[in-house]
Structure 1
Amino acid sequence: MLEVRDLAVHYGAIRALRGISFDVAEGEIITLIGSNGAGKTTTLHAISNIIRKTAGSVIFDGNDISAVLPDRIVTLGLIQVPEGRRIFANLSVKDNLEMGAYVRKDRPAIRSDMDMVYGLFPRLKERVRQVAGTLSGGEQQMLAMGRALMSKPRLLLLDEPSMGLAPILVDEIFLIIKRINEAGTTILLVEQNAFKALGIASRGYILETGQVIKSGPAKSLMKDDAVKEAYLGGQNDY
């Protein structure tokens, strides 16, 4: 579904991405793991064309989208949930969800998808008229994900969905990510919580200073001594 080839990004003289390549097959959860500054968020932004690439290509569903405008990329079904949620804080929960469907014209299907989002996130239904900026951090993350689902993604890019959340909410968010995938949405997950990410992913890529230094099946990466030492706190029992 997604092919990233030799992707490079510069911020002035800084080489943020140094020619990375990876792919995502339909139906998978693929995770990109790395420390702060490794290039994970930059990778997602380059795929979505929010930032300019220095080199490389992005192929989505067989089509080169390297130069396609971000709003057009949304209509193709490639949707990003940004780091930090970036909800519309002054709008209600319902208004935020409706904004996710702004490119759609199929009103009956929009209503159906709204019900689907409320089924995934019952707390959002309880707070449908509440101003989004007054929600808790976990509820705002749910809203950001729900807003993205209203765009009917074929491929969902998730950027640090567990950031700043209490452990019990982290567990809940990852269970919901699995449910979204099982319902048919392919997922590319950027996440610092390597243990949680590898626990639900089929494959993973380890980024370091803008390069892919290791990749493989998630279960294999969880057993890799170097990965455990660097990203899993040296834990040995999985």
Structure 2
Amino acid sequence: MLSVKDLCVSYGAINALKGISFEVNEGEIISLIGSNGAGKTTTLHAISNIIKKKSGTVTFNGTDITQMAPDAIVLQNLIQVPEGRRIFQNLSVKENLEMGAFTRNDKAQIKEDMEMVFELFPRLKERIRQISGTLSGGELQMLAMGRGLMARPKLLLLDEPSMGLAPILVDEIFSIITKINKTGTTILLVEQNAYKALSISNRAYILETGNITKSGNAADLISDPAVKSAYLGG
């Protein structure tokens, strides 16, 4: 579904990504794991073409999207839920969700999809008319994910969905991610909580200072002594 080959990104003299390659197959949950500054968010931004690539190619569903404009990539049903949520704080919950469907005109299906979002996130339905800037951190993350789902993604890029959340909410968010995947949405997950990410993923790639240093089945990585030592606190 997604193929990233020899991707390089630089910020001035700093080489943020040094020729990384990886693949995401349809139906999978794939995690990118690494410490702060490893290049995880840069990878997602480069896929979405929010930042300029130095070199490399990105192919999605057989289409070369390497130089495609970000808004055109959205039309390919490749959707990113950014780090920090970045919802429209002055709009209501309902209006934010409607913004997620701004590329669509199938009104009946949009209504059905909004109900699907409310099934996944009942708290959003309870707060449907509430101004989004007044929501809690967990509710904001739910809204950001719900807004992404309103675009009917084939591939959903999730950037640090558990950041800043209480442990009980982290468990809830990861449970919802697995439910989203089971509805047929493929997921590429960037996450510092390596244990939680690996526990729900099919496969994972470990990024260190712009290089992929290890990859494999999530179940194997979660028991790998080097991964345990570096990322799982063991």
TM-score (norm 1): 0.98
Query: Where does 1:1-238 land on structure 2 (aligned, <5 Å)?
Result: 1-234=1-234
Where 1:180 maps in the other structure, the secondary structure is helix
Query: d(CA) in 2 for partners of 1:72 and 1:102?
Result: 13
What is the aligned-residue RMSD (CA, Å)?
0.3
Alignment gaps of 5+ in structure 1: none
Question: Partner letter of residue 2 of structure 2?
Answer: L
CA deviation string 1:95-147 (max 9, x = no partner): 00000000001010000000000000000000000000000000000000000
Letter in 2 for 1:6: D
1:16-39 Cα distance to aligned partner (Å, 9 max, x none) = 000000000000000000000000
Aligned partner of 1:49: which letter?
Answer: N
Matched to 1:123, the amino acid is R
Q: Residue 50 of structure 2 aligns to a residue in which SS?
A: coil
- CA distance in 2 between counterparts of 1:26 and 1:169 reads 27
The number of aligned residues is 234
CA shift at 1:62, angstroms?
Answer: 0.6
Unaligned runs of 5+ residues in structure 2 are none
Give, in whole Å, the separation in 2 of the partners of 1:63 and 1:72. Answer: 12
Distance 1:191 1:65 in 2: 24
> Could you tell me how far apart the structure 2 residues matched to 1:66 and 1:109 are?
30
- TM (norm. structure 2) is 1.00
Q: Which AA in structure 2 matches 1:170? A: V
2 CA distance for matches of 1:225 and 1:121? 36
Structure 1: distance between partners of 2:60 and 2:121: 29
Identity of aligned residues (%): 72
User: Could you say what secondary structure the match of 2:15 adopts?
Assistant: strand
Distance 1:222 1:94 in 2: 39
Moved over 4 A (4+): none
Shift of the alpha carbon at 1:163?
A: 0.1
1:34-83, Cα deviation, whole Å (9 max, x unpaired): 00000000000000000000000000001100010000100100000000
Offset at 1:207?
0.1
How many Å apart are 1:209 and its aligned residue?
0.2
Shift of 1:167: 0.1
Q: Report the Cα distance in structure 2 between the residues aligned to 1:150 and 1:71, rounded to whole angstroms.
A: 15
CA distance, structure 2, for counterparts of residue 223 and residue 178 of structure 1: 21
**In the TM superposition, what is the alpha-carbon distance from 1:199 to its structure 2 partner?**
0.1
